[in-house]
Amino acid sequence: MKIKDKRIKIYYEVQRGQLKRYIHPPSEYLKAYVRQLSAYEQNMDDAIQDGSEIEFVINPRQVSVDMYIEFLGDTYQITSVDRYEFYTNNELKIRARKVSPKEYVAIDGDW
């Protein structure tokens, strides 16, 4: 198990991108283990080696590639979700790429 000592927020867009909806209460954070991908890992993925690809490890959640992560003031779009061979009581490994943040009409969260 990795130490999850970083605070992140995960959200998705609804109403044609007008509404930002967190998968948790908007005032709360999720704990995550965060690391930047190595040059080797980025090279294997044919990614640009600019540090914009990050790996997050979180406890099990309903997460998909159409969601976004907020971390240290930056926004990342989820590019892949590894469910560790589909075990349900394990961790999720998420890869995400840095994107420009958008403006939303409203912000909501799951309670």
pLDDT tens digits, one per residue of 70-100 = 999 999 999 999 876 556 567 889 999 999 9
∠ CA 20-59-76 to the nearest 5 degrees? 40
pLDDT in tens, the chain (111 residues): 678 999 999 999 998 888 999 999 999 999 999 998 766 555 555 545 455 789 999 998 899 999 999 999 999 999 999 876 556 567 889 999 999 999 999 998 876
- Domains detected in the chain: 6-109 (2.40.10.270)
From residue 14, how far is each of 22, 75, 92, 104, 111 by CA, in Å?
A: 10, 17, 23, 10, 16
